Amino acid sequence: MLRRPWRRSGLQQANALLGLSRSLTGIAGPAVGGVLVVTVDVAPVLLLDSVSFVASAVLLGRIRLPSLERMPTRFVSDLVEGWREMTSRTWYWLNLITHGLANVGTAAFWVLGPVIAAAELGGARAWGLASAGVGIGALVGGLPALRLRTRRPLVLANVALVVVALQPLALVSPLPLAGLVVACVLGGARLTILNEVWVATMQRLIPQDKLARVSSYDWLISLIVAPAAYAGTGVASETVGRGTTLIVAAACIALTILLILLSPGVRSAGAAPAAT
């Protein structure tokens, strides 16, 4: 097995730059939205939000890409091939399970955060500042992702994700707004590092002709887990209380990430030679 530092690539830098562009809007958007909800009204703000999606669709429609050869689509066989490629890589499917459980934990923060902010922290303006803190953290976390070099990228990325557990913990007996914003900044930074390193690792170790099929399972698990976690958070909060729900959420984020580090496949993934 090749033993050399995991060098940053053009793909990694491109991923980080895309993350930075998203982070810039993630900083101003929540803060401005919170202020507008307080000073104007909810309905005009939602209308403005809808218009922004239409503007985005128009801009994306103006992008011109070179034509590509259309490949024949065989849904079932492509699905089976993607499953086979995914299950043959222990480091990949273990990360999918872990990130799915971590998404369960973060769902509690986003579901219960606005409720707690409205009741104890000052309402929409406070939650807008907290959400902007996540955007600031994402921007800060994207900068080191541009120049990251390490032998064990998935170890670094998963350890970084543990810090996201601070977000639900900050709401248990809610910290003052400044403390919540700090937790959001730290969580946003670590989440960005994970995302950029994870995507770059996939692009490096999975052959290009298999990448779309394999990564589709990543999206599938996320799309299944997210709505179930949002709905389950509400039920859990009504059943066992907000505090217990948030503590369990933080444990889902922290413990699952630490357990994955026991896998040799995850620890050594970054040292493997690049795929063709």
Please say if the pLDDT value at position 121 is more than 50: yes
Q: Distance between CA 243 and CA 235 in Å, rounded?
A: 13
Distance CA 134, CA 187 (A): 7
Amino acid identity, residue 197?
V
Largest CA distance in the chain: 61
**Any domain includes 55:** no
pLDDT digits (tens, 9 = 90+) for 184-201: 888 888 777 777 778 778
- What is the per-residue pLDDT across 43-53, written as a single tens digit (0 to 9) for each? 888 888 888 88
Residues 95/266, Cβ–Cβ less than 8 Å: yes
Give the 3-state DSSP-derived string for 129-185, with helices as H, strands as E and coil as C. HHHHHHHHHHHHHHHHHCCCCECCHHHHHHHHHHHHHHHHHHHHCCCCHHHHHHHHH
Does pLDDT of 166 surpass 70?
A: yes
Report the CATH number that the domain containing residue 226 is assigned in CATH.
Answer: 1.20.1250.20
Domain count, the chain: 1
The phi and psi torsions of 130 (rounded to 5 degrees) equal -65, -45
The full DSSP string for 30-89 is HHHHHHHHHHT-HHHHHHHHHHHHHHHHHHHHT------PPPPP-HHHHHHHHHHHHHT-
CA distance 39 to 148: 42
Tokens of 172: 């248990």
Extract the tokens encoding 171.
Answer: 């709401």
The answer on pLDDT for 10 being more than 60 is no
What pLDDT score was predicted for residue 116? 92
How many C-beta atoms lie closer than 10 Å to residue 150's C-beta? 15
Give residue 151's Cα distance to chain centre: 22
Q: Is the pTM of this model over 0.75?
A: no
In-domain check, residue 200: yes
Q: Is residue 174 part of a domain?
A: yes
Residues of the chain with pLDDT > 90, as a percent, come to: 11
Q: Is the pLDDT of residue 8 over 60?
A: no
- The parent domain of residue 134 ranges over 15-44+90-270
Is residue 150 helix, strand or coil?
strand
- Interval 216-253: pLDDT, tens: 888 888 888 888 899 999 899 999 998 999 999 999 88
148: in domain: yes
Percentage of the chain lying above the pLDDT 70 cut: 78
Query: Tens digit of pLDDT for each residue in 123-143?
Result: 888 888 888 888 788 777 766
Stated length of the chain: 276
Tokens linked to 193: 């590092």
Reduce the DSSP state of residue 6 to 3 states and report it.
Answer: strand
103 versus 272: the higher-pLDDT residue is 103
Average pLDDT, rounded, for the chain: 79
Q: Find all residues with CB under 8 Å of 107, minimum gap 6, and list them.
A: 226, 229, 230, 232, 233, 249
